Chain A
Amino acid sequence: MSAETAEHDDHHDHGPAKGWLRWVVTTNHKDIGTLYLIFALAMFFVGGTMALIIRTELFEPGMQFVDPQFFNSMTTMHALVMVFGAVMPAFVGLANWQIPMMIGAPDMALPRMNNMSFWMLVAGVLLLASTLFMEGGAPASGWTLYPPLVLQTGNALPFAIFSVHLLGISSIMGAINIIATIFNMRAPAMSLMKMPLFVWTWLITAFLLIAIMPVFAGAVTMLLTDRFFDTSFFDAAGGGDPVLYQHIFWFFGHPEVYVMILPTFGVASTIIPVFARKPLFGYSSMVYATAAIAFLSFIVWAHHMFTVGMPMAGELYFMYATMLIAIPTGVKIFNWTATMWKGSMTFEAPMLFSIAFVVLFTLGGFTGLMMALAPVDFQYHDTYFIVAHFHYTLVPASVFILMAAGYFWLPKWTGNMYDEKLAKLHFWLSAISVNILFFPQHFLGLAGMPRRIPDYAIQFADWNMISSIGAFIYGPSQLIFVYIVYKTIKGGTGEKVTDEVWEGAKEQSLEWTLPSPAPYHTFSTPPKEVPTMSTSR
């Protein structure tokens, strides 16, 4: 034991390994965080390109650019890449960078598994992307992979299924690592109710992931055996039940969308108090609301299936349960508003993105509430109304908050300040274009345009064109972010930032007590005290 410790101490001050191999074999939480974030950003552009192909075809009525089968592959792959390749990995990247620094730990609890879960993610996404080049094309049945349609997929089907398995294993390993880190490696002074809210939301998200990924893996495995081993889980002709798949899928799928939104809440709750120069309002109610949302996410799945013909009792139960989600979500929005109330606000890029998140996510919440009402959902279901709804809860919510997080923590990670002017340009372009892109889709849905169609009737032409124009502005605007990040890494504005970067941030969370840039190894010994301004005291 003592020999081991001595040996370890000899190497204590080593920095990163030299050369490119550093990035392959690294077990450092900051390096792995960087890998995750860069990979997610790359996939954001891959998925975004697919979205632009979709919006280009939908710019005008008539088929101009792609054939319908490829169009369906694009909607399917856009969703899968954005969910599993961009948004989820980006939040895992943030967790890797931030959780150890926020709880006063030297690294993640399971560093080697950390490395493995990243590379499995890359393998999974590459396997998925490879289906684009296979005979019969990439999966084209929507990201929900509903049978019997998905069973008509060509050679791509088993590859897509194994890709889901790999992504699932990667997510589960990541989640185990986060739970182990949070439970075992907090600074002694940090009780659970003194953890920053970002850590809390990730802890809850990690439990969601462990609960749901095996369910999805099971569902797609049943697809695999239905297609190749003559089982009939979902085949009515063999005594199976196509609706069973939907129940299993959405038991995974509904918590899955909360996997993307809960850490979003966590980042917003971290950023807003800093720029309001106030404690977060209602810390403990925020924690309980997050837990309540997570619990409810498991008992509302069939609101995605109001039109499949459930018994009346089922329809009513899922309607009531879904409406309940509005309560804890409302509490969160009220708490953020109360945090801003009587603050001393400034509006740097992270705050701008966070405020836009609160407003636009609330709009997505309103449409969510409308769709919770089953009899009205019979009109909204599977139209552009739902497309508008979930994009409002994902793009100006999760993606905006990821951008906010980037601007918020980049100075801590690199020691350099980003270009605030460019960042504001990025914000205004994004905030305006995202609404031009998605707001008209509400009108399209209400007017009767179904989702996932490559061509449409003439009365939908005008709003579709406006929506596409929004997409053509929103997409390229995101390149500004890449440029800003690159410039910041290379030295930024030249201004060296202080340790706390943002005025008063030291009172809010531990990472701001570290030097900027944060050294390769931090908190080799845990801090004695933890800031409690925005936690319970």
Chain B
Amino acid sequence: MIKTKQLFAALTLMILGLSSAHADYTLNLMQGVTELSNDVYDLHMWVLWICIFIGIAVFGTMFYSIYYHRKSVGHKAEQFHESTTVEIIWTIIPTVILIAMAIPATKLMLEMDDIQDSEMSIKVTGWQWKWEYEYLDNGIHFFSTLDEASNKARQKDSGIDPRSVPHYLLNVDKPLVVPVNTKIRFLFTAADVIHSWWVPDLGWKKDTIPGFINEAWTNVEKAGTYRGQCTELCGKDHGFMPIVVIAMEKEDYAEWVAEQKGVALAEASAADKEWTADELIAKGETVYANNCASCHMADGAGMAGTFPAITASALVTGDINAQIDLMMNGKGMMPAFGQMLNAVDFAAVSTFIRNGLGNEVGDSIQPSAIKAKQSAQTENDEDDK
């Protein structure tokens, strides 16, 4: 018994020690920044308090009994063994409590489902392991991937302290930008496996499922940056596809939209220009690090049995078209990169792996050629539908 107490004391001290070191002990659900998320929080607290109340009543009775109705204090056992009356009472009381929970829950459920009068729509597509955002009203379209700093730090034995990375694992290269005080409709689908899109501050999550389109809506009341993650196991890098939503005042948002249109134009002209092999290889190295290295490893050695090596691979050192087909369409655990990378990045990384990581094939492919293949792929997809 003394040992147990000592152990308990040691543990308590250890926990106290930890808390003084770097205190971040969030206990409860966040309230969030939308009307829905506040309603969810209120319902959560309502049910939590009911549970705490029932807990105190039941455990109180039990511990009273454990303390007073012990053999060691000489309590004699009574022999009663059933009572229909009390069975009915403790069936009816919980039923009433359940109804008191079900009514607000039903109201909130209907409110969350009410997608009408939304002012703009964003289509979200889950990919292994990034998010694709399409603004259906103005044509803005981009992919959002784990930021480079987190990506480097999260590699095994990277030697980088995650605590030194700002918003470790919760930061992306291109965040989703939305205006405040606007009812936004989200459409969710997936390109490969099931993912789930969750930003806790918005108050809900929704699965993105291949072949399905799910809906949800939000209306962010406060400008700010809100972070979340994929919440449906989607393979190796499930833990590394965060979501960042930046809510902006309406004027700032309009500015951002104008800026994005310029970016799209620049990207399109980059795809049409003629690139030298060296330019492609230099760019391809970054693309490789961000998209390929987590499976095929930074040096292209792969992982025996699971992820093939790039170095000296028959496919990569063989016909360039076969290599590009596989990269575009994917195979097994290899995601289909055809629509995930833009033409420049695709051409760059295709050229890089043939002329880097220990390979010396010597050829290259132009972004314009990739662009042609990509549009052919999109047309095929549409024919299938």
Contact = CB atoms under 8 A, between A and B. Distances in A.
Contact of B90 (A61, A243, A334, A376): A334
A220 B95 CA distance: 38
Contacts of A374: 105, 109
Given A236-B212, A280-B81, A458 B163 contact: yes
B380 interface: no
A142 B233 contact: yes
Interface string A420-456: 0000010011001000100000010011101111111
Interface string B201-237: 0011111011110110000000000001111111111
Nearest to A57: B156
Given A375-B108, A379-B200, A459-B24, A309 B215 contact: yes
A307 B196 contact: yes
Given A355-B66, A366-B51, A309 B214 contact: yes
A148 B336 CA distance: 14
Contact of B230 (A284, A362, A450): A450
Contacts of A243: 209, 212
A362 B55 CA distance: 8
A contact residues, range = 35 or more
B155 A337 contact: no
B29 A327 contact: no
Contact of B161 (A62, A146, A373, A451): A62
A201 to B, nearest CB: 18
A64 B87 CA distance: 54
B112 A308 contact: no
B238 A452 contact: yes
Contacts of B72: 346
A276 interface: yes
B8 interface: yes
Interface in A319-347: 319-320, 323-324, 326-327, 330-331, 333-334, 337-338, 340-347
Interface string B95-114: 10010011001101110110
Interface string A128-139: 000000011100
Chain A interface mostly helix, strand, loop or mixed? helix
Contacts, number: 324
Given A62-B162, A369-B51, A136 B69 contact: no
Given A149-B233, A461-B24, A344 B65 contact: no
Interface in B1-37: 3-4, 7-8, 11, 14-15, 18-19, 22-30
B198 interface: yes
B251 interface: no
Given A149-B234, A342-B78, A334 B58 contact: yes
B11 A282 contact: no
Given A149-B235, A278-B77, A448 B228 contact: yes
A383 interface: yes
Contacts of B209: 236, 242-243, 308-309
A465 interface: yes
B235 A376 contact: no
B301 interface: no
- Say whether chain B's binding surface is mostly helix, strand, loop, or mixed: mixed
B30 A279 contact: no
Contact of B70 (A148, A236, A346): A346
B233 A141 contact: yes
B235 to A, nearest CB: 6
A428 B4 contact: yes
A465 B82 CA distance: 47
* Residue with the greatest number of chain A CB neighbours at <10 A, chosen from B75, B98, B210, B233: B233
Contacts of A363: 55
A214 interface: no
Interface in A371-398: 373-376, 378-379, 381-383
B270 interface: no
User: Interface size class for chain B?
Assistant: 35 or more
Contact of B211 (A152, A236, A462): A236
Contact of A381 (B61, B155, B205): B205
A283 interface: yes
A342 B77 contact: yes
A158 interface: no
Contact of A340 (B26, B66, B79): B66
A237 B108 CA distance: 35
Interface stretch (B166-174, B259-267, B317-325): B166-174
A331 B306 contact: no
A425 B5 CA distance: 11
A370 interface: yes
B41 to A, nearest CB: 8
Nearest to A371: B47
A534 B80 CA distance: 11
B246 interface: no
A228 B154 CA distance: 35
A357 to B, nearest CB: 12
A455 B169 contact: yes
A304 to B, nearest CB: 12
Nearest to B4: A428
B69 A342 contact: yes
A443 B27 contact: yes
B62 interface: yes
B269 interface: no
A23 B22 CA distance: 55
A68 B108 contact: no
Contacts of A67: 156, 236, 303
Give me the 6 closest cross-chain CB pairs, A-B, nearest first.
Answer: A236-B211, A453-B239, A309-B214, A279-B81, A378-B204, A447-B26
27 contacts: A62-B161, A62-B162, A63-B157, A68-B237, A148-B210, A149-B233, A149-B235, A154-B305, A242-B212, A243-B209, A276-B69, A278-B81, A285-B82, A307-B196, A307-B207, A308-B207, A309-B207, A331-B90, A344-B77, A345-B70, A362-B58, A373-B102, A378-B204, A432-B4, A447-B27, A450-B231, A462-B24
Given A355-B66, A373-B43, A457-B169, 5 more contacts: A62-B153, A72-B238, A373-B101, A443-B26, A450-B198
Interface of B: 3-4, 7-8, 11, 14-15, 18-19, 22-30, 39-40, 43-44, 47-48, 51, 54-55, 58-59, 61-62, 65-66, 69-72, 75-83, 86-87, 90-91, 94-95, 98, 101-102, 105-106, 108-110, 112-113, 153-158, 160-163, 167-170, 188, 192-194, 196, 198, 200, 203-207, 209-212, 214-215, 228-240, 294, 303, 305-306, 332-333, 384
